[in-house]
Amino acid sequence: MRAKPNIVVTGTPGVGKTTHAELLARNTGLKHLSINDIVKSEKCHEGWDDELETWIVDEDKLLDTLEDLVAPGGQILDWHACDLFPARWVDLVVVVRCDSTILYDRLTARGYKGKKLEENMDAEIMQVLLEEARESYEEEIVVELKSDTAEEVEGNVERIEAWIAQWTKDREDEEEN
C-alpha cells in the first residue's frame, strides 16, 4: 500500500495543468512529473509530428519508464491525456477545464495555430479529456475543476490538498485497525 497518493492532473493544453501540478508539489511535497519532459528526456517517442508540432509518444516505453517512479506513490502526473495510466497507479484524477474564450487566448499566446489550435479547442469544447477520465477510472476518483482565474486555481489547489490530507488520514486509520 502506498504511503502517499498518485494524482493525475490532466486537461487540454493551456488549461493550467502544470500550474496546478507545480503548486501542489510545492505545497505538499509530492513530486511533479511532467510527462512531456519525460517523453523527451527518456526518448519515449517515435519521432516528431510536424503537422501537430508534437512528439509521437511510444506509450509502452513511457509506461515502462514510469512504472518504478509511481509504484511507491507521491507522484503528480501532469499530462494532456490520462487513459494510458493503469488504474492501479492512480488515486485521484483531476481534469482541469477552462472557458473556451480564455483557452483560445492562452493557446494563441503560446503560438498555437492551424490544426494544432483547432484540435485542442475542439478537445476542450467537446470535453474529450473529461470523458476519457470518466471512462478510464472509477467515478469517485475523477474530479473536474475550472481554471479560468488565479483565484480558481488557488481554490482548486486547496481542495486537492484537503483531499490528500484525508487520503493520508484514511490510510493511517486503516493501518491502525
Q: Which residues are annotated as a binding site for ATP?
A: 14, 16-19, 110
* Parallel/antiparallel/unpaired status of strands 54-57 and 45-49: antiparallel
Instruction: Decide if 146 contacts 97 (C-beta within 8 A).
Output: yes
Joined together, the cell numbers standing for residue 118 give 483547432
Separation CA 175–CA 44 (nearest Å)? 37
User: What whole-number distance in Å separates Cα of residue 111 and Cα of residue 154?
Assistant: 26
User: Which position has the grid cell 515502462?
Assistant: 64
Q: Quickly count: other Cβ atoms within 10 Å of residue 96's Cβ.
A: 27
Give binding residues as ranges. 14, 16-19, 110
Q: What is the C-alpha to C-alpha distance for residues 160 and 40, in angstroms, rounded to an integer?
A: 28
